[in-house]
Chain A
Amino acid sequence: MTDIELSVQDLHVTLGQNHILKGVSLEVNRGEIVALLGPSGSGKTTLLRAIAGLELPTQGSLRIGEQTVFDSAQKIEVSVEKRALGFVFQSYALWPHRTVYQNVAYGLKLRKIPAAEIKERVQTVLDNLGLGELGERHPHQLSGGQQQRVALARSLVYNPRVILLDEPLSNLDAKLREEARIWLRQLIIKLDLSAVCVTHDQAEAMAMADKVVLLKDGVIEQAGTPQEMYGEPQSLFVAEFMGANNTIKGRIAELDGDFARIEGEGWALRGRLRSSLKVGDEATAVVRLERIKMVPAAKENALRLPLTASVYLGSSWEYIFDLAGTSLRGYGGEAMPPGEHLVEIPAEHLWLF
């Protein structure tokens, strides 16, 4: 008995002339929520559609639970409708000619469930999602949030073990989206489902998922827990994608175990090596905005920099300093007078790529 609900091995997908996925492997354990993250064109939606069977891979294999649903070597291809997955489309794809009840009941009807049971199960899932009263409405009579929940109800009602979500929250407005991602995570955990969720928003991915998979140009750049992805990026791309950063270009001056000294025009900083660099190499130093600190007295990795602007954000202030022509941004609690300030960039959090 394995705990792996979904297994993707070396998947390749070609659409027209474009090689979209170039060998992706991925495992989703029972009860796990995996977020597929990446810039547009990275192949995240294609991966989701290939798992569902909506795109035909050219190579690789796919397993859902114990069943192999695709294997290029063995020439196995289980058709979409037999994969018993839940899929929530970005546009929700509610059938406009059917009522909410009929939309949700369709999957059960196809499975030849007795009418009385259909009625009961549809009502239960609608009640669970707070849609109990809306069964007789048509999709166009619902708000965006309601439509999203109907789409979810439709894909949950026949108890799939894995649910696939394609940017499920992107059509909601910003406020609703933040509530919905927590609600959605709790719902998936409550129902003990496995989920794969496509998103292009790293904050959403980290808030919702147990595991984040970052795709770039059809391959996995890095996969891991949100903490690993944010705190231990293995490449400049991951570091830049996962958070708000300052990036500074410089040259490696000295190596010191895991650390190194990077120098630029009139400045030098110590940072942690995150890729193999030699003395004299051009390098990029990356530090998260929230790691920048104002310090009262001179210390290691503290630079005296002129403040070029400060911006009031409501909950905090954002400062913009000038570091040899590039801007260095940081947050703080109060307004700061113009002039030069001592700014610390902790060596532990300055990543060198």
Chain B
Amino acid sequence: MNATSDIAVVVDGVHKVFGGGGADDVTALAGIDLAVAPGEFVSLIGPSGCGKSTLLRLIGDLLEPTAGTVTVFAKPAHQARLDQDYGMVFQHPGLFDWRSVAANIELPLELHDWSKADRSARSAAMLELVRLEEFGGHYPRQLSGGMQQRVSIARALSFEPRLLLMDEPFGALDEMTREHMQGELLRIWRETETTVVFVTHSIPEATFLSNRVVVLSPRPGRISSVVEVDLGDRTDDTREDPEFFRVATEVREALRAVEAGE
């Protein structure tokens, strides 16, 4: 493992058991090995209960593994969290109602003691990045779900983390907004050169966004297969590309194999 410093995320032999050691313990993840290269976009996909969100939370040090190690940018996940190496986006935008859009984006900067001037400059730049320039003074409840999620992405990226962890961020959006947001996310990913680990249960979403799709099987969660995706520069036309369908089919069959293996 001497090359770990060149790797963004290394998950090594991770087990995660929920419970206090009794008979009703649940093994959420078993023997997970995964490496994510810097700048890579990796999706985790699998049926409900396969532990994909758990895996994401282990990478983000919001949970601790029962066994095994998680290394983020060559340091323990815990240190990476303290060093603010990653930004996190959840399924619900999770904006603070009492803060304006700009103040929401500035929240992590406030916690890191940025000066007022630096904060406003950065939130303005972030609003531009997610194309909500005119909405800095608005309040979250004045925005649509898709716009709120864009603010949430801006907030996660505001302190320029090298890693972005996303947990079904577009799960609550309608299909058209969802596709639009996927395009936006890819644009932001290219512009910022961030590494992304993305949890989803949508096959087209995983296929469209990722360099690699990691398929998990449930109870206990294991990596059952990894599908490489090479769609080149993605545009809206990519969604109708034969190669897109071929990869999506490959992911679908991997998922079916998982379900059949129950």
Chains A and B bind each other: no
Chain B contact residues, CB within 8 Å of chain A: none
